[in-house]
Amino acid sequence: MKAVRILASLLLAVLLLLVFGWALSPHDVAEAPEAALPAIPVKWEHQALRPLLAAAAPLSAKAELGQRLFFEPRLSRDDTLSCSTCHDLSHGGIDRKPVSIGVGGQLGPINAPTVFNASLNFVQFWDGRAATLEEQAAGPVHNPLEMDSSWPQVIAKLLQDDSYRSAFARLYPAGISSEAITDAIAAFERTLTTPNSRFDRFLLGDGNALNDQEQHGYRRFLELGCASCHQGVGIGGNMYQRFGVMADYFRGRPENTADLGRFNVTGKAEDRHVFKVPGLRNVALTAPYFHDASAKTLEEAVMVMGRYQLGRQLSNDDVHAIVAFLGTLTGEWQGKVLE
C-alpha cells in the first residue's frame, strides 16, 4: 500500500511538471527580460560592451597639481613641449598627426593614442611596455624623440619655482621627485574619463539615444565579431591582439621597429605584430588610425579591420552602419561633449 502511494505521488509530480512545463517553456523564460525592458527596441543582450559610469567630482589636490604638470613645458629639454602637446584635450586627447613631433622637430615612430580613458586600459602604450599610468608618464620625458630630458633636469627647473615647491611640499613629504611628478600626472589622467555618450545612455535604457542606423551598426558590430576584441567599459584596451589575424597586414612593406609591437618588449617571436587593442571611446575624433596612422578615415579603418581581423569584405551598408554606431561612443568631459 505504501509503495502504491509513493508511485501515485511520483505520477502526480510528473503530471504537474508537464502541465507547468508547457505553461512556462524555456522560450518564454528567455523572453522575460525583453518584456521587462520595453524602452529598448532591440532583442539582443548587452553582454560584451558596458556603460562608463563616472560621477563628476572636483579635482583632488594631487590631480590639480597633475593638471598643471600635464601642461608644463619645462618637462621637456628645451621647454617647448608638454604632455598636452601630443595629447590635446581640446581635440580628442591626441595631436591628430600621423606621428608626434618632439624636441627639435624630431618625428616619433608611432601614432600617439588618446589620453582620454587611458585609465581604463590594462597597460599603456601600443606595445604595453608600461604597466601603469605612472610608468607611462615617465616615458616621454626620457625619450630622445619626444621631450628628450631627464628627471635631474626637470626637477632642477621645477625647484626654481616657489609655487611648485610649496605644492609638492604640501602633498609629498619628500618634495619634488620623479615619483611625485608621475604620481600627480597619473592622478590627473585618471580624471580624464568621458562618460555619458549616447551609447552609454542607450545601454542604460534610453531606447531613443540611438537612431535606427546606429542600432543596426551596433548589431552588426556584435554579429560580425568586432566585440571579441573591443569589449568591456573601454570598448577595447583590455587585451593584446595580432594585427593581421586573418591576413598578413605587413606583407610587402619594409619592416620597422614600431611594426614589431609587443615583440619589442618581450623578444618572443609569437609577439611580432601584436599590439594592445585600442579602446574605441571617442574614436570618431581620433583620426588617423592604427599604430602606423595608415587609415585616414574611420570608414577606411573599419574596412581594414574587416579584412585583416575578421576575414571579411564588409559591404558598404555594414561599413556605414558601423561607423554611425562608432560615432555614438563620443562622450563628455567637464560636462561638455568632446570635439
Compute CA distances 321 → 210, 324, 328, whole Å.
12, 5, 11
HSE of 189 in the Cβ direction (CA atoms, 13 Å)?
29
List 146, 214, 299, 339, catalytic entry: 146
CB 231 within 8 A of CB 338: no
Say how far apart CA 196 and CA 307 lie, in whole Å: 31
146 in catalytic set? yes
Q: Which three cell numbers stand for residue 310?
A: 575578421
State the maximum Cα–Cα separation within the chain, in Å, rounded to a whole number.
Answer: 100
Compute CA distances 81 → 134, 149, 287, whole Å.
19, 11, 22
Closest by CA to 121, choosing from 338, 339, 323, 281, is 281
User: What does residue 49 show for φ and ψ, rounded to 5 degrees?
Assistant: -105, 140
Say how far apart CA 47 and CA 278 lie, in whole Å: 19
**Strands 336-337 and 332-333, bridge-based pairing:** antiparallel
The CB density around residue 293, as the number of other CB atoms within 10 Å, is 16
Catalytic residue numbers, as ranges: 146
